[in-house]
Amino acid sequence: MTLLRLIHVLSAIFWVGSTLFITFFLEPTVQALGAEGGRFMQRLTGGRLSPAMALAGLLTIASGLWMYASVSGGFDLGVMFAARLPLTLGALAGITSLLVGLLVQGRASRQLKALGQRLAAQGGPPTPEQAARLAALQHTLRRGGQLNVLLMILAVVGMVTG
């Protein structure tokens, strides 16, 4: 149980901390830099950051579920939705955050990376359609990040109060 708690806490620190840093500090700076910021962000997320955040999220959720099974009587609904309700809601928020990260932001990141490669290969400014797609993908990433901040805060509150 101690090892699970250590994995859970350390991976959550990285996952939540990175999300907060990216959402509140990095993204506004990248946006202010325009095209240069976009290239920087592509390089950053195309490297080890995205897989590291996904791994941290998976470790956080997997270790959390394993520990949760023991404190909820093996996922006993009476325990989950009575004595452990804050913990249950926090766990659900954390799981939802992982899904948003993997399915929404991960997909948008992959599409943004592919679009960035096409733009680099064509060597000129983006077409109006490409610019619109670029803006839409960036918007999806920002909104996903904002949703994840909210979900992660709810998850942390659930962990602390549960």
| Interatomic CA distance for residues 31 and 54, integer angstroms | 23
* Residues 84-119: tens digit of each pLDDT: 899 999 999 999 999 999 999 989 988 988 888 888
- Considering the entire predicted model, what is its pTM? 0.87
Residues in the chain: 162
At a CB cut-off of 8 Å and minimum separation 6, what does 129 contact? none
pLDDT in tens, 112-157: 888 888 888 988 888 999 989 988 998 999 999 999 999 999 999 9
* C-alpha span between 139 and 17 (Å, rounded): 21
| CA-closest candidate to residue 50, choices 18, 10, 77 | 18
Each domain of the chain, given as residue ranges in start order, spans 2-161
The DSSP secondary structure of 108-151, one letter per residue, reads: HHHHHHHHHHHHHHH-SPPPHHHHHHHHHHHHHHHHHHHHHHHH
